[in-house]
Amino acid sequence: MNLHALTAHALLDLFKSGKASAKEAYEAVVGRIKSIDPKVKAYVHLSRSQPHYAGEFQIPIAIKDNLCTKGEEITCASRILKGFRSPYDAGVIERIKKSGGSILGIVNMDEFAFGSSCETSCYGPTFNPWNLQCVPGGSSGGSAASVAADEAMWALGSDTGGSIRQPASFCGIVGLKPTYGRVSRYGLIAFASSLDQIGPLTKDVRDCALLMNIISGYDERDSTSVNEPVPDYTRALVNDVRGLKIGIPKEAFVEGLDAEVRRAVESALDLLKKQGAVIKEVSLPHTPYAVATYYIVATAEASSNLARFDGVRYGLRVQPGKVRKNALVDMYEETRSKGFGDEAKRRIMLGTYALSSGYYDAYYLRGQKVRTLIKNDLDQVFKDCDVIMTPTSPTVAFKVGEKVSDPLSMYLSDIYTIPANLAGIPAISVPCGFSKSGLPIGFQLMGRAFDEEMLLRVSYTYEQNTEWHLKKPTI
């Protein structure tokens, strides 16, 4: 039996019946990493600490390189944080540890989560397990690839504009961005504080519900986390969508959407219709402005969030040999020039500009207003619909290097995922087929704030009536 190939819930059943132990499972996954990861390159490094086998959910997990984990080097895949060993655990890491989870290691990402391909990492790209010449998506590319390649039972990622859902879709797994405030951000190295949310990447919908049970809940150390009771998400796993209303935004199925992706999502829709769901065409008139709005708000916050990486206290410090302005300013400039990659610099400059005196009203403030309009569009639709369905990404995984020199086309790969972050609502990506070239396709469901259960219910129903989630890549 290949324990590494199992879902977490299948593994938990084996633990219960005594047919396998957590130690065997952990060792099986570590073995798999050792044999496969040289090709996939999902991991930045394996955990420095040994697993301790105690607790209800002794599931081996992969952690994105932006979640502070005590004793581990956490770098956001950036040279500027090289050598930073976190002295504390993020809120979600505490919960994982408390539940019995054992941390396999730290997985790759786009530098500071700036990207949709995992190529901006200072460690080099991670590769898509379905085709090693393709990207796994991003920014949680390492998280998605590790789960898809059976190098982890499940993984944690973060999602600011689609960074969980798009790689989940590219790698053929399930990825959920929870409602803003559902999961504590304490210990998540911030990209854009008002958009960031931590969430699960799993092999199927049941695992997604299980991992949500573990990581959700109020944390007094995060003022934006919400003090609302957390349901048992596994109770939402019912194979029944009769009478549920699924909204299809007409703006979603337009030019730029790959024909194969379109067909796969449409047949998923048909399946749900056959299961009794009611399909309704809706309109989200402001979504065409979502990407532009996002790149104002997200970069503005990022420019401030990344100011702390200045070479003074931790991570990289570069002092040029010759004094140029003065020792301090020289050090700042040299450290940040050498420490950040091109995409990080691009976004810091964009965001700095958007916040500059004289431009604030035209950019940041305007961006926040459009954000409200986009949220209002969604609220309007959710008065009538239970979920909104779109493709997760307009294309399947692209080739490594294909879009690196074209940031705008890279930005557009988040066109379907960004609105959920701007509105703070939950959204999930579920596998729904493959392209002719054998690359996974996913659809996205968006739901009302704090109604992750509805997303899980519809996803579960779809999954119960398909077999896409059971397919494995050959590496």
Partner 1 sequence: MSQFETVIGLEVHLQLSTRTKIFCSCVNQYGCAPNTNVCPVCLGLPGTLPVLNHQALLYGIKVGLALNAEINSFVKFDRKNYYYPDLPKGYQISQFDFPVAKKGYLNIKSGGQEKRIGITRAHLEEDAGKLVHDNSGSCSLADFNRTGTPLIEIVTEPDLRSPQEAYDYLNTLKLTLQYLGISDCDMEKGSLRCDANVSIRPVGQASFGTKTELKNMNSFRAVKTALEYEVRRQTQVIIAGEKVVQETLLWDDEKAQTRAMRSKEQAHDYRYFPDPDLVPFTIDYKIIDGVRAELPELPQAKFLRFLSQYGLSEYDANILVADGGMADFFEAAVKEYPQAKKIANWLAGPVLMELNNRKTPIQELKLSPQGLVTLIAKVEDGVVSNLVGKEVLTFMLDEGKGADEVIKEKSLAQVSDDSALLAIIDEVIAQNPAVVEQIKSGKPNAAGFLVGQAMKRSGGRANPKKLNELIMRRITGV
Helix, strand, coil content of the chain in percent (nearest 5):
40, 15, 45
Q: How far is the CB of 356 from partner 1 (least distance, A)?
A: 6
Asked if residue 188 binds partner 1 (CB under 8 A), the reply is: yes
Residue 193: CB minimum distance to partner 1, A: 4
Distance CA 472, CA 165 (A): 19
Cβ–Cβ < 8 Å for 377, 328: no
**3-class DSSP state for residue 131?**
strand
Q: How far apart are CA 309 and CA 269, in angstroms?
A: 46
Enumerate residues 269-308 that contact partner 1 by CB under 8 A: 300-301, 303-304, 306-308
Binding range to partner 1, per CB under 8 A, among 14-22, 84-92, 274-282, 388-396:
84-92
Q: How many CB atoms lie within 10 A of CB 217?
A: 18
| Cis bond upstream, residue 409 (ω within 30) | no
Our finding on whether 362 is near partner 1 (CB under 8 A) is no
Mask of contacts with partner 1, 35-74, x by CB under 8 A? -------------------------------xxx-----x
Whether 35 is catalytic: no
Q: Is 139 a catalytic residue?
A: yes
Q: Among candidates 34, 159, 59, 44, which has minimal Cα distance to 106? A: 44
Among residues 41, 47, 64, 184, which one is catalytic? 64
Question: Do the Cβ atoms of 9 and 206 come closer than 8 Å?
Answer: yes
Q: Among 310, 386, 452, 453, which residue sits at the site for partner 1 (rule: CB under 8 A)? A: 310
Nearer to partner 1 by Cβ, of 193 and 380: the residue is: 193
Query: How many H-runs (helices) and E-runs (strands) does the chain carry?
Result: 14, 11
* Interacting positions 216-255 with partner 1 (CB under 8 A): 220-224
Report CA-CA distances (Å) from 447 to 173, 262, 440, 452: 19, 21, 23, 7
- According to CB under 8 A, which residues from 420 to 449 bind partner 1? none
To which residue do tokens 């299948």 refer?
Answer: 10
Our finding on whether 192 is near partner 1 (CB under 8 A) is yes
Cβ distance 317 to 324 under 8 Å? Answer: no
Considering only residues 134, 189, 205, 449, which one is a binding residue for partner 1 as defined by CB under 8 A?
A: 189
Judged by beta carbon, residue 310 or residue 463, the one nearer partner 1 is 310
Using the minimum distance from each CB to partner 1, give the nearer residue, 332 or 434.
332
Q: Report how many residues bind partner 1 under the rule CB under 8 A.
A: 45
One DSSP character per residue, 25-52 reads HHHHHHHHHHHHHHHH--EEEE-SSPP-
Containing 102, the helix (H) or strand (E) segment is: strand 102-107
Stretch that binds partner 1, among 127-135, 206-214, 356-364, 413-421 (CB under 8 A): 356-364
Among the listed residues 47, 99, 102, 139, the single catalytic one is: 139
Q: Are 233 and 267 in contact (CB under 8 A)?
A: no
Closer CB to partner 1, 18 or 87, in the complex: 87
Residue 418 CB, shortest distance to partner 1, in Å, is 17
* Binding-site ranges for partner 1 (CB under 8 A): 66-68, 74, 76, 81, 84, 86-88, 90, 185-190, 192-194, 220-224, 300-301, 303-304, 306-310, 312-314, 328, 332, 352, 355-357, 360, 364
